[in-house]
Amino acid sequence: MTTDLTVPVSGVSRQAGELEVAVSVPAPADIGVPLIGIPEGEPIELDFRLSALDEGVLVQGPISATAVGQCSRCLRELTLPMHEQIAELVFYPERQDELIAEGDEEAEDLPVVVDDAVDLEPLIRDALVLSMPLSPLCRPDCPGLCPECGERWDDLPDDHKHEFLDPRFSALDALAEQLMAEEAKAEDEAGEPRA
């Protein structure tokens, strides 16, 4: 699915124009980080004001969406309401050209007005993705999983624990005990007075 989030700004005068864009748009694909993201097609609410300035179009306003992800400790599904603020200047292409000519090395990557339109998608994407937690938690004190059995601590009794009976170690322990017993016996025999 492709979501067209370009807004024509030819009606916005370069002197003093303003444009309100208050809409709900379906989320484009891949707005997220590995453990959390906005499911494709879920609504993103935006209430932007586009203002024409000398250098470009200033896009500002709130953006809201609900991210869905997984708790990084207990792996439970979680939802995270997101409310961010955008304030981004989208440059006119001729202004970008000037900046590049002036030697501004970062000017190549600036958002620009293309064909008299502003593409909101990269702005929305940056505003949301940069605010997403890399290690989301279902709650701040989530205890996570028991490292032995992988069950959630929340689902386990308070006194849950595992006895460490690794068969390899118990075999070694038995061998060690046997050797020590044999040594003791040999010493006993050696220490006995000869008849």
Residue 73 interacts with Zn ion (CB under 5 A): yes or no: yes
User: Residue from 64, 131, 146, 153 that binds Zn ion (CB under 5 A)?
Assistant: 146
Are the C-beta atoms of residues 59 and 48 closer than 8 Å to each other? Answer: yes
Count residues near Zn ion (CB under 5 A).
Answer: 8
Comparing CA positions, the residue from 115, 54, 138 lying closest to residue 89 is 54
What's the start-to-end Cα distance of the chain, in Å? 99
Q: Which of 1, 149, 190, 195 binds Zn ion (CB under 5 A)?
A: 149
Rounded Cα distance, 69 and 77, in Å: 6
- Interacting residue with Zn ion among 148, 173, 177, 182 (CB under 5 A): 148
Query: In this chain, which stretch among 34-42, 90-98, 125-133, 142-150 interacts with Zn ion, using CB under 5 A?
Result: 142-150
Does 115 engage in binding with Zn ion (CB under 5 A)?
no
- Residue 96: CB minimum distance to Zn ion, A: 45
Query: Which CB sits closer to Zn ion, 49 or 76?
Result: 76
Q: Does 142 bind Zn ion (CB under 5 A)?
A: yes
3 state DSSP class of 186: helix
Q: Taking Cα atoms as reference points, which of 22, 104, 126, 6 lies closest to residue 55?
A: 104
Q: Report phi then psi at 166, rounded to 5.
A: -80, 120
Binding residues (CB under 5 A) for Zn ion: these are 71, 73-74, 138, 142, 146, 148-149
